Structure 1
Amino acid sequence: MQSFRTTHCNSIRQSDIGKEVTLAGWVDTIRNHGGVIFIDLRDQEGITQVVLHDETKIHGIHKESVVSVTGKVVMRDEETVNRKIDTGTVEVHSDSITLLSSCSASLPFEPARSRDTREELRLKYRFLDLRNPLVHRDMVLRSKIISHLRHQMEEMGFLEMQTPILTMSSPEGARDYLVPSRKHRGKFYALPQAPQQFKQLLMASGFDRYFQIAPCFRDEDARLDRSPGEFYQLDFEMAFADQEDVFQVAESVLYSTFTRFSDKEVSKPPFRRIPFEESMLRYGTDKPDLRNPLLIDDLTDFFLDVDFAPFKGKPVRGIKANCSGMSRSFFENMFDYAVAIGMKGLGYLTLSEGSFKGPIDKFLSDEKKAELIEMCGLKDGDTVYFISDKKAKVDRFSGQIRTKLCTELGLLQEDKFEMCFIVDFPMYETNEETGKIDFTHNPFSMPQGGMDALKYDDPLTIKAWQYDIVCNGIELSSGAVRNHRPDIMKEAFSIAGYSEDVLKDKFGALYTAFSYGAPPHAGMAPGVDRIVMMLAGHENIREVIAFPLNSNGQDLLLGAPGEATEKQLKEVHIRMR
Structure 2
Amino acid sequence: MERTLIKDTLNKVGEKVKLLGWVNTIRDHGKITFIDLRDRSGIIQCVGQDLPKFGAESVIEITGEIKNRPEKLVNENLKTGKIEVQIENLSILSSAAEIPMPLDNDGYDIEESVRLKYRYLDLRRDRMAYNIRIRSKVANFMRKWLIEHDFVEIETPILTKTTPEGARDFLVPSRLQPGNFYALPQSPQQYKQLLMVAGFERYFQLARCFRDEDPRKDRAYGEFTQLDIEMSFVNQEDIISLSEELFTSLVEEVFPDKKISQSPWPRISHKDAISKYGSDKPDLRKNKNDPNELAFAWIIDFPLFTEQSEEDFYHGSGSAKFAPSHHMFTAPHPDDIHLLDTDPTKVRGLQHDMVLNGYEVGGGSVRIHQPEIQAKVFDLIGFSEEQKRDFEHMLTAFKYGVPPHGGIAPGVDRFTFVALGEPSIREVMAFPTSASGQTAVMNAPSKAAIEQLNDLGILIKKDK
Fold in common (TM above 0.5): yes
C-alpha displacement of 1:411: 6.8
Secondary structure of residue in 2 paired with 1:145: helix
C-alpha displacement of 1:273: 1.3
Q: 1:559 maps to what in 2?
A: 443
Q: 2:410 maps to what in 1?
A: 526
Secondary structure of residue in 2 paired with 1:453: helix
Unpaired segments ≥5 residues, structure 2: 311-318
User: Residue 459 in 1 paired to residue 344 in 2?
Assistant: yes
C-alpha displacement of 1:536: 2.1
CA contact (8 A) 2:64 2:87 kept: yes
CA contact (8 A) 1:234 1:526 kept: yes
User: Residue 152 in 1 paired to residue 149 in 2?
Assistant: no
C-alpha displacement of 1:456: 3.8
Secondary structure of residue in 2 paired with 1:58: coil
CA contact (8 A) 1:235 1:526 kept: yes
Runs of 4+ aligned structure 1 residues displaced above 6 Å come to none
Q: 1:17 maps to what in 2?
A: 13
C-alpha displacement of 1:415: 4.2
CA contact (8 A) 1:426 1:440 kept: yes
Secondary structure of residue in 1 paired with 2:410: coil
C-alpha displacement of 1:532: 1.1
Q: 1:514 maps to what in 2?
A: 398
Distance in 1 between the 2:58 and 2:184 partners? 40
Matched to 1:479, the amino acid is G
CA contact (8 A) 1:112 1:131 kept: no
Q: 2:298 maps to what in 1?
A: 421
C-alpha displacement of 1:452: 4.3
Distance in 2 between the 1:224 and 1:455 partners? 37
C-alpha displacement of 1:143: 0.8
Distance in 2 between the 1:435 and 1:197 partners? 23
Instruction: Decide which of 16, 27, 41 is 1:45's aligned counterpart.
Output: 41
Instruction: Decide which of 283, 291, 299 is 2:285's aligned counterpart.
Output: 291
Q: 1:407 maps to what in 2?
A: none
Q: 2:359 maps to what in 1?
A: 474
Secondary structure of residue in 2 paired with 1:120: helix
Secondary structure of residue in 2 paired with 1:150: helix
Q: 2:184 maps to what in 1?
A: 191
C-alpha displacement of 1:114: 6.1
* Structure number with bigger Rg: 1
C-alpha displacement of 1:222: 1.2
CA contact (8 A) 1:490 1:500 kept: no
Question: So what's the TM-score if we normalise by structure 1?
Answer: 0.76
> Structure 2 vs 1, CA of residues 423 and 432 (structure 1 numbering), >3 Å: closer, same or farther?
same
CA contact (8 A) 2:331 2:350 kept: yes
CA contact (8 A) 1:215 1:230 kept: yes
User: Residue 241 in 1 paired to residue 237 in 2?
Assistant: no
Aligned positions of 1:273-352 closer than 5 A? 273-291=267-285
Q: 2:428 maps to what in 1?
A: 544
Which deviates more from structure 2 when the two are superposed, residues 424-433 or residues 42-51? Answer: 424-433
CA contact (8 A) 1:17 1:74 kept: yes
Instruction: Decide which of 12, 15, 22 is 1:26's aligned counterpart.
Output: 22
1:423-446 superposed Cα distances (whole Å, 9 cap, x missing partner): 111111222566712222211011
Report how many aligned residue pairs link the two structures.
451
Question: So what's the TM-score if we normalise by structure 2?
Answer: 0.93
Distance in 1 between the 2:365 and 2:288 partners? 34
Matched to 1:507, the amino acid is F
RMSD, aligned CA: 1.8
Matched to 1:419, the amino acid is F
Matched to 2:102, the amino acid is E
Q: 2:52 maps to what in 1?
A: 58
> Structure 2 vs 1, CA of residues 414 and 30 (structure 1 numbering), >3 Å: closer, same or farther?
closer
C-alpha displacement of 1:500: 5.0
CA contact (8 A) 1:166 1:191 kept: yes
Distance in 2 between the 1:36 and 1:224 partners? 47
CA contact (8 A) 2:339 2:346 kept: no
User: Residue 118 in 1 paired to residue 111 in 2?
Assistant: yes
Aligned positions of 1:315-394 closer than 5 A? none
1:60-99 superposed Cα distances (whole Å, 9 cap, x missing partner): x221111111111101012211111100000010110111
Matched to 2:17, the amino acid is V
- Identity across aligned pairs (percent)? 43
CA contact (8 A) 1:476 1:526 kept: yes
CA contact (8 A) 1:179 1:190 kept: yes
> Structure 2 vs 1, CA of residues 30 and 76 (structure 1 numbering), >3 Å: closer, same or farther?
same
1:102-143 superposed Cα distances (whole Å, 9 cap, x missing partner): 11x221012223604211111101111111122111111111
Q: 2:313 maps to what in 1?
A: none
Matched to 1:572, the amino acid is L
Which deviates more from structure 2 when the two are superposed, residues 410-419 or residues 22-31? Answer: 410-419
